[in-house]
Structure 1
Amino acid sequence: MPAAMTTLAELNAMPAGDFMAALAPVFENAPWIAEGVAAKRPFASLTALHKAMLSVIAEQPDDVQVAFLRGHPRLSPETLRKGTTAESTAEQTAAGIGALDEATIAKLTALNAAYDSKFGFPFILAVRRASLPTMLATFERRLAATPEAERAEALAEVQAISWMRLLDRVQPAPTGSLSTHVLDTVRAMPAAGLGVELWGRDASGQPICLESFTTDANGASGHDLLGQGRLRAGTYEWRYDTPTYFAARGYPTPARSFLGKVTVAFSVWNPEEHFHVPLLLTPGSYMTYRGS
């Protein structure tokens, strides 16, 4: 992965050649994609830049899109032995593809051969977000797809891979943030006075409490959290002190003890966006979703 990050401002100001060199690895063996957006600068966000790069692919005729997909390496130990791009090597190695047992290697080899024979390009998956069981299950499911549907899904995986690689290289615009809001559905009121913690992970991957607060009169965090460029892609947790909240409102121990402290884990894919997590709460159940 790149040793240093660049900013959007720096990227926008680079000579065209430097811009293309900086972004060439974002899409596998396809520097022409970065070349296709160099003249469209400046970009206000990574989201806008990525959308423009995807548009370059979408505008190509079918044969060019298929040739682009063929430029991706197989997911296999053999690929790692023979050598591929630095980005793909790092991603496949981190996913454990270089350390598979013989039975799994044989299964993966057979899946790759069947897939290549049917579709004419390698199986593509964003392995940074997929365990080995997920990868194999996805492989088997997609073998049953039509060529048109599979090409669309392969391009969707390219979209995910390229977005993660872009985040490796360029700092996102400081527009993202987090918030939460809790409704006590038994009392049909906002859950005011509820203790909440926001947890993430530090640079070494260890859990760390990032914010701690009590919900306001509207049952909300009161302000957006991790704004001004502090939000990063990754996994976070809201931890709600629901036992204390229900104890203060007169619920007996058996009623308030079923759930314990409610934890809602969620992923931030695009740190330029706002992520709002509502919680609908009773002593015996809760419901959550991504709000607006």
Structure 2
Amino acid sequence: MQHAPAPVSLPTIEFINTEASIQDFATAVTLLFEPAPPIVKHLYSKRPYPTYSALIDETAVLLNNPNQYLTLEEQLDVINAHPRIGAPKANLSALSLIEQGYSAEEAAKKVDETATPSQDDEVTQATLKRLNQEYEDKYGFKFVVFVNGRPRNVIIPVMEERIKNSTREQEMKTAMTDMVSIARDRLKKLNVA
């Protein structure tokens, strides 16, 4: 028998500002940005925040000016914190599953991994795996995009275009911009201001 996952929620902003240990803070920030220690360290040092939206605004300042605040290695750590598009469902958070086009019900169940995928799903998975590898070979970090619930097969031409017609610098900037968009969307889905 499968149990429903624990509800995903953020602690109050008051708790984050006054009582949260660095670990508590990291757990909350990870719901919005995936596990990215450089973001956590920066945001923790800038407390207090009037709202979670303000916390994301501070992250936007950080990620829009990464060379001012982060080493190149830290920038890569932040980008590589995101799961690969098409990563095995068992390795994705419920929010990531929904963002990659799975229904809320499928995400809540983590999708039955023993189910036989359709031929289209297999082709999409294989294509995404190949494109992830091409992208990482070219740029040296994971592909990040604000999927916004689009099916995974719709992301394929986006990946192909970015592999063909972009630069490493543009891709780093796009990844960081999209991470902020993802966090804003997650915050909205969590019904927190």
1:133 to 1:85, Cα distance in 2 relative to 1, 3 A: closer
1:84-123 alignment runs, 5 A limit = 84-92=92-100, 94=102, 100-123=120-143
Matched, 1:80 2:85: no
Judging by fraction of residues, say which structure has more strand: 1
Compare CA radii of gyration and give the structure with the larger one: 1
1:133 to 1:32, Cα distance in 2 relative to 1, 3 A: same
* Letter aligned with residue 79 of structure 1: P
- 5+ residue gaps, structure 2, are 1-5, 112-116
1:143 to 1:40, Cα distance in 2 relative to 1, 3 A: same
1:161 to 1:127, Cα distance in 2 relative to 1, 3 A: same
How does the TM-score come out when normalised to structure 1?
0.49
Cα contact 1:8–1:44 (8 A) shared by 2: yes
Partner residue of 1:153?
174
Deviation at 1:41, TM superposition (A): 2.5
2:40 to 28, 34, 42: 34
Partner residue of 1:25?
31
Q: Count residues with an aligned counterpart.
A: 170
Q: Secondary structure at the match of 2:138?
A: helix
1:133-282 alignment runs, 5 A limit = 133-144=153-164, 145-169=166-190, 171-172=192-193
Runs of 4+ deviating beyond 6 Å: none
Q: 2:20 and 2:133 mapped to 1: Cα distance?
A: 43
RMSD: 3.1
Residues 146-188 of structure 1: per-residue CA shift (max 9 Å, x gap): 111111111111111122233445621xxxxxxxxxxxxxxxx
* Letter aligned with residue 165 of structure 1: R
How does the TM-score come out when normalised to structure 2?
0.70
* Letter aligned with residue 146 of structure 1: T
Q: 1:66 and 1:22 mapped to 2: Cα distance?
A: 21
- 5+ residue gaps, structure 1, are 173-292
Q: 1:65 and 1:45 mapped to 2: Cα distance?
A: 25
Cα contact 1:127–1:135 (8 A) shared by 2: yes
